[in-house]
Amino acid sequence: MAFMRRRTFFRILSLLAVSLLVRLLVAAPSPASSVSSLYTADSQEIRKQGVLDLVTRSDKPLDARKHKFLQARMGRDERPDLFTDMIRDGLVDYWERYQKPYIVGHDTAHMDEQTVFSAIEQLLTLNGWVAALCPTLTRPFGQNKYEDAYEDLAKQDYLYYIGMVIHSADHFLVDQLAVIVQLAKRLGPSNLFVSMLDYDSSDSTSTLTDLCEAVLTLLGVPFRIRRVPGMTEDPLAAYYPLEEAHTRNLALEPLHELYERRNIKFHRVIWLKGFTCPNDILETIKISVVNEAAMVCGMDWAEHNGFFIFSDRWRTRDINGDQFRQSKSSSISTSPLTSVPPRDAVGAQRYTQHLPFQVFCCESGTHVVDPAQSYYAGVVYRSGTDFHNASTPTSPLTREPEAKCLDSAQAWFCRDLWVAKAREGLHAIAPEAEAHQSTRVKRADDDNDDSSVPIVDEEPLAPRQPQAAQQEDLDANAGSDYDATDLPLADPPPSEADEIDRFTIPNMDFLPARILVNPRCVTTYAGVSHTQLALDLFGPPDSDEREGMVKGKDVLEQWQGAPDTFVCQEQQHTGGRRAAKTQRRLSFSIHKELEEVLESS
Rounded least distance, CB 390 to ligand NAG, Å: 8
Q: How far is the CB of 385 from ligand NAG (least distance, A)?
A: 9
- Distance (Å, rounded) from C-alpha 530 to C-alpha 535? 9
120: three-class secondary structure by DSSP: helix
Closest alpha carbon to 247 in 166, 128, 343: 166
Q: Which is nearer to ligand NAG, 399 or 585 (CB)?
A: 399
Q: Which is nearer to ligand NAG, 524 or 574 (CB)?
A: 574
Residue type, 560: Q
Residue 382 is a binding residue for ligand NAG (CB under 6 A): no
Instruction: Identify which range of 142-150, 268-276, 386-394, 550-558 contacts ligand NAG by CB under 6 A.
Output: 386-394
In whole angstroms, give the CA distance from residue 331 to residue 342. 11
As measured in angstroms, the least distance from the Cβ of 226 to ligand NAG is 21
Among 232, 330, 352, 558, binds ligand NAG (CB under 6 A): 232
When asked if residue 237 is in the footprint of ligand NAG (CB under 6 A), the reply is: yes
Cβ-Cβ contacts under 8 Å for 460 (sequence gap 6 or more): none
* Least spacing, CB of residue 167 vs ligand NAG, in Å: 16
Cα–Cα dist 352/333, whole Å: 9
Instruction: Give, in order, the Cα–Cα distances in Å from 455 to each of 188, 307, 317, 512, 589.
Output: 36, 43, 23, 8, 19
Q: Which residues, listed in sequence order, are joined to residue 316 by a DSSP beta bridge?
A: none
Which residues, 6 or more positions from 307, have their beta carbon under 8 angstroms from its beta carbon?
A: 328, 329, 330, 536
Distance between CA atoms of residues 329 and 308, nearest Å: 5
Q: Which of residues 30-49 bind ligand NAG (CB under 6 A)?
A: none
Contacts of 229 (CB under 8 A, 6+ apart): 200
Q: Which is nearer to ligand NAG, 387 or 525 (CB)?
A: 387
How far is it, in rounded angstroms, from Cα 520 to Cα 435? Answer: 46
Give the C-alpha separation, 160 to 585, whole Å.
37
Nearest approach in angstroms of CB 168 to ligand NAG is 19
User: In this structure, which long-range contacts are made by residues 451-456, counting pairs with CB atoms below 8 Å and at least 24 apart in sequence?
Assistant: 453/428, 453/429, 454/425, 454/428, 454/511, 455/425, 455/428, 455/429, 455/511, 456/511, 456/512, 456/559
Q: Taking the complex as a whole, how short is the minimal distance between the CB of residue 574 and ligand NAG, in angstroms?
A: 5
Q: How far is the CB of 238 from ligand NAG (least distance, A)?
A: 6
Whole-number minimum distance, CB 407 to ligand NAG, in Å?
A: 16
Looking at beta carbons only, is 232 or 471 nearer to ligand NAG? 232
Q: Which of 189, 185, 176 is nearest to 271 (CA)?
A: 176
Q: Which is nearer to ligand NAG, 246 or 315 (CB)?
A: 246
Expressed in angstroms, the distance from the first to the final Cα of the chain is 61
Question: Residue of minimal CB distance from ligand NAG?
Answer: 389
**Minimal distance in Å, beta carbon 412 to ligand NAG?**
16
Closer to ligand NAG by Cβ: residue 200 or 509: 200
Identity of the residue, 353 or 574, whose beta carbon is nearer to ligand NAG in the bound complex? 574
Stretch that binds ligand NAG, among 60-68, 160-168, 232-240, 578-586 (CB under 6 A): 232-240
Contact between 392 and ligand NAG (CB under 6 A)? yes
51 class by beta-carbon count within 10 Å (0-12 exposed, 13-18 middle, 19+ buried): middle
Q: Which residues pair with 569 in a beta bridge?
A: 583
CB of 198 to ligand NAG, least distance (A): 20
Q: How far apart are CA 517 and CA 135, in angstroms?
A: 22
Interface stretch with ligand NAG, choices 4-12, 233-241, 304-312, 559-567 (CB under 6 A): 233-241
389 binds ligand NAG (CB under 6 A): yes
Q: Which stretch binds ligand NAG (CB under 6 A): 18-26, 54-62, 387-395, 475-483?
A: 387-395
Q: How far is the CB of 233 from ligand NAG (least distance, A)?
A: 6
Determine phi and psi for 103, rounding to 5 degrees. -70, -40
DSSP helix/strand/coil, 65:
coil
Give the nearer residue to ligand NAG in terms of CB position, either 236 or 435.
Answer: 236
Q: Are strands 515-524 and 275-276 parallel, antiparallel or unpaired?
A: antiparallel
Q: Which is nearer to ligand NAG, 241 or 371 (CB)?
A: 241
Closest approach, Cβ 236 to ligand NAG, in A, equals 9
Please, what is the minimum distance in Å from the beta carbon of residue 578 to ligand NAG? 15
Name the DSSP class of 189.
Answer: G
- What length does the chain have? 601
Taking the complex as a whole, how short is the minimal distance between the CB of residue 234 and ligand NAG, in angstroms? Answer: 7
Q: Is 206 in the site for ligand NAG (CB under 6 A)?
A: no
- Reference 336, options 507, 502, 169, 536; nearest CA is 536
Nearer to ligand NAG, 47 or 573 (CB): 573
Residue number, 120 or 390, with CB nearest to ligand NAG: 390
Q: What DSSP string runs through 424-491?
A: HHHHHHHHHHHHTT--SPPPGGG-TT-TTS-----SPPPPPPPPPPPPPP--SS-SS-GGGSS--SSP
Choice from 193, 239, 271, 360 touching ligand NAG (CB under 6 A): 239
Cα–Cα distance measured from residue 92 to residue 33, given in angstroms and rounded to the nearest whole number: 14
Longest dimension (CA), the chain: 85
Q: CA-CA distance, 64 to 222, in Å (whole number)?
A: 5
Q: Which residues contact 115 (CB under 8 A, 6 or more apart)?
A: none
* String of contacts with ligand NAG for each residue 240-259, x by CB under 6 A: --x-----------------
Among 26, 166, 173, 238, binds ligand NAG (CB under 6 A): 238
Question: Is residue 394 a contact residue for ligand NAG (CB under 6 A)?
Answer: no
* CB of 28 or CB of 237, closer to ligand NAG: 237
Nearer to ligand NAG, 392 or 395 (CB): 392
Q: Which stretch binds ligand NAG (CB under 6 A): 4-12, 39-47, 237-245, 269-277?
A: 237-245
Looking at residues 560 to 589 of the shown chain, list those that interact with ligand NAG (rule: CB under 6 A).
574
Stretch that binds ligand NAG, among 117-125, 188-196, 388-396, 465-473 (CB under 6 A): 388-396
Residue count at the site for ligand NAG (CB under 6 A)? Answer: 9
What is the rounded distance in angstroms from the CA atom of residue 298 to the CA atom of residue 280?
A: 8
Nearer to ligand NAG, 73 or 246 (CB): 246
Nearer residue to ligand NAG within complex by CB, 305 or 392: 392
Q: For 347-370, b where at least 16 C-beta lie within 10 A, e where not — what string?
A: bbebbbbbbbbbbbbbbbbbbbbb
Give the residues lining the site for ligand NAG (CB under 6 A). Answer: 232, 237-239, 242, 389, 391-392, 574
